[in-house]
Amino acid sequence: MKRFVIMLAAAAALGGAATSALALPGPGGLGAGASENPLRSDVRVFCYNRYTGRFLHWGSCARARPVYYSRPRVYCRNRYTGQFLYWGSCRR
């Protein structure tokens, strides 16, 4: 029941946004206004590092390479001496 109410509210919000989009100013909507702007043709997409903000390359940031997530490594140690034994869990 709760999920249905949330979906109904989301549908109402989408419907309200769709009706307000029909009341755009101008005869052609945004399409005609964008073609009149001379700077619109000079827009270029670029990719940047989200953490540092550093520019990476021109173009979209499509994942061309697989992304490897670093996981902390698990190691086994002697619980009495604390000596490192080997990488991996200590299964018995």
Q: Is residue 25 part of a domain?
A: no
Q: Is residue 31 part of a domain?
A: no
Q: Is residue 86 part of a domain?
A: no
Helices (H) and strands (E) in the chain, counts: 2, 4
Q: Is residue 84 part of a domain?
A: no
Q: What is the pLDDT of residues 33-47, one digit of tens each?
A: 555 666 666 678 888
Q: Is residue 57 part of a domain?
A: yes
Give the model's pLDDT for residue 8: 77
pLDDT band at 2 (very low <50, low <70, confident <90, very high): confident
| pTM: predicted TM-score of the whole model, two decimal places | 0.26
Q: Measuring CA to CA, which residue among 19, 36, 39, 18 is closest to residue 27?
A: 36
Give the model's pLDDT for residue 9: 81
Domain coverage including residue 55: 38-63
pLDDT band at 30 (very low <50, low <70, confident <90, very high): low
- Domain count for the chain, please give it: 1
Q: Is residue 54 part of a domain?
A: yes
Q: Is residue 45 part of a domain?
A: yes
